[in-house]
Amino acid sequence: MGYYLCDDIYPEWRCFVKSPPMATNPKEARFKKMQESARKNVECAFGVLQARWGIIRSPARGWYVNNLKEIMMCCIILHSMIVENEGERAAHWRDDDAGHRASSSDSFESARATPVCFEQYMQRDAILRDRQIHAQLQRDLIEHIWARFRPLQPE
């Protein structure tokens, strides 16, 4: 299961990775700095894509992961092509006809995952909301970042 970088407003679910509110050691401080920096970059890039393509604004929880990857890659490639073609003008784009388009969920219903029975849904939801897994994921990521980007020790 993937995870999202987020801030303190999100619940402690296994799919959300927050930085520790108060960094108590150098490992947590390093993780907090890198997590917040990456989160801001992703939010900015995702905001640009959401403003341009309605399909990215719709809920994605019921979609197949491979379909989501293909949709995102397509939008990223299209955005890059637009920026390359239009240059500076692409940065000043406005979504004037947003209210006149059909909902993206109307057009792409076939790409959604097969509905599951209520019992399976509740099991997956319980796994998603597991706070112990959330805490373990955060600890594992803090250790990973520290091992990968540890400051060089003076000799």
pLDDT computed for residue 88 by the predictor: 66
Look at the alpha carbons of 53, 54, 55, 59 in this order and tell me if their dihedral is positive or negative: positive
The pLDDT-based confidence of 116 (bands split at 50, 70, 90) is: low
- Written as six digits, the tokens of 61 are 């929880």
- The string of DSSP letters for 104-118 reads HHHH-GGGBPPP--H
Secondary structure of residue 142 in the 3-state scheme: helix
Would you list the domain boundaries of the chain? 4-91+106-149
pLDDT computed for residue 103 by the predictor: 44
- Predicted confidence (pLDDT) at residue 98 exceeds the cutoff of 80: no
Give the global pTM: 0.59
Give the contacts of 38 (CB within 8 A, at least 6 positions apart). Answer: 5
The pLDDT-based confidence of 51 (bands split at 50, 70, 90) is: confident
